[in-house]
A and B are shown apart, each in its own frame.
Chain A
Amino acid sequence: MVKRIAWRAATVVEVRAETPSARTLVLDVPEWGGHLPGQHVDIRLTAEDGYQAQRSYSIASAWSAESGRVEVSVQRLADGEVSPYLTDVVETGDQIEVRGPIGGWFVWRQTSTAPVVLVAGGSGVVPLMAMIRARGLAGGRQPFRLIYSVRTPEDALYADELRRRAREDAGLDVHFVYTRKAPDDWPVPPRRLDVAVINSHGWPADFEPDCYVCGPNTFVETVADILVALGHDPKRIRTERFGGA
């Protein structure tokens, strides 16, 4: 008999603003057995009258037994029910219920030696960041490339950390794509991510990279189609989407 994944009372030990509309909650989860980068957790909130709501959030952190912490980064949705509470109300010391880790497909395993292409749209970077951090923590040498599409520079999560990691790690390339407003010194005007960007900043299909694409559905649909058109095996393209079609 498989044991049910239990709801655990997690304590918020730190809160970090990532962008004006996204923040990271650092959680201390009792008896957390670790997780793989790309997995998510379910978070459950209970109102005073017993009303409950639960949602899934990607884990942003790499697992290390020393820290024992689980970080989730939450993007505030204007019409959201749970995300505004997590981005605007929760404070250090509060407790929330957490269940996980969940998902065994959209994950990166350190035992894999394949090159990796990561393509993120907006807050879709969160599970990909966990992969970059896990590789960094393990001292992995797998060649990683991240293409990160954001509307404006202010919308990029983890921007400083990504630049630092790319500077310090020859095996990690990070390429930003700005779709509405680029930094003043940026060499190209704002543009949508297209086949040329994926071709120049991903790995060639001949290298047989594992591709992870995460973001809003229309974004993921576009990127996955481009990767297929560039000759990548659809079985090597893993997607995680949010929002409707």
Chain B
Amino acid sequence: MSIISRGFGGRRREPSPDLPPGQYLAHDFPVLSAGPTPRIPLDRWHFSIVTETGEKHTWNWAEFTALPAEEFTVDIHCVTKWSKLGTSWKGVSLDTLFEDVETAGDYAMAHSYGGYTTNVPLEDLLDGKAWIAYEYDGEPLHPEHGGPARLLIPHLYFWKSAKWVDGLRMMHEDEPGFWEDAGYHMYGDPWREQRYHGD
């Protein structure tokens, strides 16, 4: 039973069936980063998938942007409570990147320039559910929002969508990444409000 907050609710935001529990609509695009913003020159950028056997698949910027890209519009939900609906991106589907990757690992650890990590089950990366995005709203992705390229897994809380991503490491067992180690949920489904450990 919740406590009624006397006189609260007069300034409520517009309700929306697209908002997961506990979220509110943001009209700007808040930035959440645990440290300084890394700036990665495109001629030094690369992205790789390393399997549990150590096999490495790497793309440089030219190779990566030559892959078939998709334009897509999705809702994003940050664990700090804001959601942004109908955001437009361009990027490469993880299905495309995994086409020639042979793996028996069920989990991936995403790694980023700057040292950030986050864990995701492989099945949440495939079947059109995740991308490596490099354009937002028709513009190259700004470094503050994770450019040159970020992981985008819109059906999970946004900390799973690693900014400045530089690779995925396949694992047999699930392991915590950066925020998961600091008390946040291992999976992070916004519709089940899996914000913190134990949710």
A→B interface (CB under 8 Å): 1-5, 7, 9, 44-56, 80-81, 84-85, 89-90, 94-97, 102-106, 217, 221, 224-225, 227-228, 234-235, 237-239, 241-245
Chain A contacts for B178, CB-based, 8 A: 105
A104-B183 CB under 8 A given contacts A2-B198, A217-B30, A245-B142: yes
Instruction: Give the residue name and chain of the A residue nearest to B115 (CB).
Output: A235
B→A interface (CB under 8 Å): 2-9, 11-13, 22, 24, 26, 28-38, 80-81, 114-115, 142, 144-145, 178-179, 181-183, 196-199
| Partner of B8 from A7, A47, A102, A104 at Cβ < 8 Å | A47
* Complex alpha-carbon distance, A80 and B145, angstroms: 24
| Partner of B26 from A45, A84, A85, A244 at Cβ < 8 Å | A244
* Complex alpha-carbon distance, A1 and B115, angstroms: 28
A47-B35 CB under 8 A given contacts A81-B13, A217-B144, A235-B115: no
* Complex alpha-carbon distance, A234 and B8, angstroms: 42
Chain B contacts for A242, CB-based, 8 A: 30
* Complex alpha-carbon distance, A89 and B6, angstroms: 9
Instruction: Give the residue name and chain of the B residue nearest to A1 (CB).
Output: B198
* Complex alpha-carbon distance, A102 and B6, angstroms: 26
Shortest beta-carbon distance, B113 to chain A, in Å?
10
Q: What are 30 contact pairs spanning A and B, CB under 8 A?
A: A4-B198, A5-B196, A5-B199, A44-B2, A46-B3, A46-B5, A46-B8, A47-B8, A52-B2, A53-B8, A54-B81, A55-B81, A81-B12, A85-B5, A85-B8, A96-B5, A104-B181, A104-B182, A106-B34, A221-B31, A227-B36, A237-B35, A237-B36, A239-B36, A241-B31, A241-B32, A241-B33, A242-B30, A244-B31, A245-B145
In the bound complex, do residue B11 and residue A84 qualify as a contact, i.e. CB atoms below 8 Å apart?
A: yes
* Complex alpha-carbon distance, A56 and B178, angstroms: 20
In the bound complex, do residue B31 and residue A224 qualify as a contact, i.e. CB atoms below 8 Å apart?
A: no
Chain A contact surface mostly = mixed
In the bound complex, do residue B36 and residue A47 qualify as a contact, i.e. CB atoms below 8 Å apart?
A: no
Shortest beta-carbon distance, B127 to chain A, in Å?
29
8 additional A-B pairs beyond A3-B198, A245-B31, beta carbons within 8 Å, are: A46-B3, A52-B2, A56-B81, A80-B11, A89-B8, A234-B36, A234-B114, A245-B144
* Complex alpha-carbon distance, A221 and B4, angstroms: 39
Shortest beta-carbon distance, A152 to chain B, in Å?
24
* Complex alpha-carbon distance, A239 and B35, angstroms: 5
> Across chains A and B, which 10 residue pairs bring their CB atoms closest together, nearest first?
A47-B9, A244-B28, A104-B182, A224-B36, A2-B198, A4-B198, A45-B5, A46-B2, A245-B144, A2-B197
* Complex alpha-carbon distance, A50 and B24, angstroms: 16
Instruction: Give the residue name and chain of the B residue nearest to A45 (CB).
Output: B5
Shortest beta-carbon distance, B174 to chain A, in Å?
14
In the bound complex, do residue B29 and residue A245 qualify as a contact, i.e. CB atoms below 8 Å apart?
A: yes
* Complex alpha-carbon distance, A53 and B198, angstroms: 21
